[in-house]
Amino acid sequence: MLEFGLIIMSYFVYILECSDGTFYTGYTTDLKRRLGEHNSSDLGAKYTRGRRPVILKYSKDFETLSETLKYENYLKTLSREEKKTLVYKS
């Protein structure tokens, strides 16, 4: 995003569904790149490497890293059923 000559960073919190049906939650500044890393690179999380392919099921963008990390932490406290409700509601 470009605004008045300044680059404004966007952050994304995301939930992936792994091939074994489990969920993985993370954050990034580049959702497309990070999804590719999870699916085909050693840069993907160790958790997702053995559970490929992964599918992006949910994402939300934020303007600050602080907001992003707080929301990621919140999502990680949700039960599997609460995550399923969020993912399939979106």
pLDDT of residue 2: 47
Phi/psi of residue 61, nearest 5 degrees = -105, 155
Question: Superfamily assignment of 10-89 in CATH?
Answer: GIY-YIG endonuclease (3.40.1440.10)
Give the C-alpha distances (Å, rounded to integers) separating 2 from 6, 7, 10: 6, 5, 11
Could you state, in chain order, the average pLDDT of each consecutive group of 10 residues for the chain (90 residues)? 66 97 97 96 90 97 97 97 91
Q: Return the structure tokens found at 55.
A: 């599918």
Q: Where are the domains of the chain?
A: 10-89
pLDDT of residue 4: 59
Residues forming beta bridges with residue 15, ordered by sequence position:
25, 58
31-43 core/surface letters (b: 16 or more CB in 10 A; e: else): beebbebbbeeee
